[in-house]
Amino acid sequence: MGTWDSLHKQHVDVFIRINLLEKALLGLLQNRATGDMKGAASLQKDFLKAFEQGMILHFAVEEEALFPVLARAGEKPRILISELLAEHKSIMEKHNMIVQTAAVDKDKILLELIRELADHAKKEEQSIPSIISQLTPEQLNNIDQDAKRLGYRL
């Protein structure tokens, strides 16, 4: 399996997790949680664990293996990649706020994080495949080698 296919599979997993978590967080924030605070708390914990175990490397693979090649595919891809990098930064800032501080509104920040992450992954799904399809087998192979070097399992 190639790097993009693996990233794509993670996006699908993220969409499922985010969907569940968004409902739970909205319930918490609107005080509509009907006795399922524990369920919401464990969904949050699971999401943060999955984020740390999967998404951080996912971002690294995109930033260091995939994006540099895509950015060289033309002016439009170059602009797209700069937008995607800014989105990574914003998502990571929110993650850091959640894990490093005693912020009282962590639920709210997490809700913002998952919404940004869902929009971001959707944007990648809509824009990256057509750029990938223009790459040569050699470029694709270089991406895979760089991804593996980062410890990404294809």
Contact set with Fe ion (CB under 5 A):
62, 124
Would you say 10 or 139 has its CB closer to Fe ion? Answer: 10
CB closer to Fe ion, 107 vs 124: 124
As measured in angstroms, the least distance from the Cβ of 16 to Fe ion is: 15
Assess contact for 21 and 47: CB atoms under 8 A: yes
Q: Residue 97 or 118: which CB sits closer to Fe ion?
A: 118
CB of 138: closest distance to Fe ion in angstroms? 23
Q: Report, in this order, helix, strand and coil percent for the chain, each rounded to 5.
A: 85, 0, 15
Whether 101 contacts 16, CB under 8 Å: no
Tell me how far, at minimum, the Cβ of 40 lies from Fe ion, in Å.
25
Q: Residue 120, Cα to own-chain centre: how many angstroms?
A: 7
Whether the Cβ atoms of residue 122 and residue 114 lie closer than 8 Å to each other: no
